[in-house]
Amino acid sequence: MKKLQNISKWLTAVPLLLLAFMFIAFPLFGMIRDSFLSTEGSVTLANYMEIMSKPVYHSAIRNSLYLSFLSTVIGLAVSFLMALSITQIGERSQGIVQSILNMTSNFAGLPLSFAFVVILGNSGILIAFLSSIGIGILENFNLYSVDGLLLLFIYFQLPLGTLMLLPAFQGVKAEWKEAAELMGASPFYFWIKVGIPVIFSSLADTCSLLFANALTAYATIVMLVTTNVPILAVKITSMFTGEMAQQKELGSALSIVMLLIMFAVICICNILKKSVGKER
């Protein structure tokens, strides 16, 4: 009887497993295979050698890592404070704020790039307004540069990071805070010694998600700077959809490099989760 129940459970998972194979495993194996092929179809390491030798790919990887790491660190820190603040307000207000966060987390692509151009472009509203009142703090700001993209990346990291951390903060019991206060612990000491270790697993998972979100960002970047700033995701896409001859083998190799970077970050976050879990 138990065997039949186990078989029935696996049968219900068959559609999901088929979808996973069709849309994850099968494309991944094909990408790995193509990355080791030349345009003539022979096995080679030339694609990886080209990535290692050409400065344009070095710049793309360096810019992607710069944007991903900084936007993840800043986004995680600000999201932490935002989620903490949201848990201090009433349930009704929390629902309103979460609705706003859901809306802004889906605000990407053409609308987001257009909004930033209107506000912070070369003739943007904010820059023109500050110039008109004699404040030149944004005179040298260039939205169409790596630093300009960093501001945009941080913007779309915040709602996602906050939404990911909210359930973890809601799981921190008020009794723990009260006990810490009775023992003379400050709120800062409570979060350092109790709060952060308790929600560290969620922090690590959110860090992984934010990094992957930044590393694979494409649509907004293309709308804003096209290919003027070398970014790994844009380079990969251009290999498959370029107006010139497509280079799917080189694009596959670049995709594998991106996956390896992402895999390394996920592994580091998992190692940190286990180490903090053992300390607890």
What's the pLDDT at 262? 93
Check if the beta carbon of residue 34 is closer than 8 Å to that of residue 248: yes
Percent above pLDDT 70 for the chain: 94
Confidence (pLDDT) at 194:
83
pLDDT in tens, 227-255: 788 999 999 988 887 656 678 899 999 99
Give residue 62's pLDDT band: very low, low, confident or very high (50, 70, 90).
very high
Q: What confidence score (pLDDT) does residue 69 get?
A: 96
Any idea where the domains of the chain sit in the sequence?
A: 55-279
Q: Which residues contact 146 (CB under 8 A, 6 or more apart)?
A: 63, 66, 67, 229
Which whole number is the average pLDDT over 105-109?
78
Burial of 225 (0-12, 13-18, 19+ CB in 10 A): buried
pLDDT class for 143, splitting at 50, 70, 90? confident
Question: Is the pTM above the cut of 0.75?
Answer: yes
Per the CB < 8 A criterion, the answer to whether 196 and 120 are in contact is no
Answer whether 270's CB lies under 8 Å from 198's CB: no
> Taking all residues of the chain, what is their mean pLDDT, rounded to a whole number?
86
Tokens of 217: 């960002």
CA 143 to chain centre: 20
List the helix and strand counts (H, then E) for the chain: 14, 0
**The pLDDT value given to residue 38:** 86
Q: Domain 55-279 class?
A: mainly alpha
Q: Which of 167, 179, 253 is nearest to 205 (CA)?
A: 167
Nearest to 258 by CA among 239, 277, 275, 278: 239
Q: Is 96 exposed, middle or buried (0-12, 13-18, 19+ CB in 10 A)?
A: exposed
